[in-house]
Amino acid sequence: MLLRAVRRLASAPGFRRLTSIASLLRLSYALRASLVRERARFVRNELRVGATTATYRLRGSTVAVAIRHHTGDVMVLDEIFSQDEYEPPPGVELPKVESAVDLGANIGLFGAWLLGGYPKARLLAYEADPGNAAVHRLTIETNGLSEQWRLVEAFAGTRAGVTSFAAGQHAVSREGEGIEVPVVDVLPELTDADLVKIDIEGAEWPILADPRFRELRAQVVVLEYHAEGSPGPDPAAEAEKALAAAGYAVVDAGRKPAFGAGILWGLRA
pLDDT band at 9 (very low <50, low <70, confident <90, very high): very low
Domain chopping of the chain, boundaries: 2-267
Are 243 and 262 in contact by the 8 Å Cβ rule? The answer is: no
Distance, in Å, from the CA atom of 230 to the CA atom of 29, rounded to the nearest integer, reads: 32
Residue type, 193: A
Q: Which of the following CATH numbers is that of domain 2-267: 2.30.110.10, 3.40.50.300, 3.40.50.150, 3.40.50.620?
A: 3.40.50.150
Helix (H) or strand (E) holding 262: strand 261-267
Express each pLDDT in 67-86 by its tens digit: 999 999 999 999 999 999 99
pLDDT band at 15 (very low <50, low <70, confident <90, very high): very low
Distance, in Å, from the CA atom of 167 to the CA atom of 258, rounded to the nearest integer, reads: 21
The dihedral through the CA atoms of 80, 212, 230, 163 has a sign that is positive
Express each pLDDT in 86-123 by its tens digit: 999 888 888 889 999 999 999 999 999 999 999 999 99
How much of the chain exceeds pLDDT 70, in percent? 87
Residue 232 has a CB neighbour count (10 Å cut-off) of 10
The dihedral through the CA atoms of 113, 118, 120, 123 has a sign that is negative
Residue 211 has a CB neighbour count (10 Å cut-off) of 9
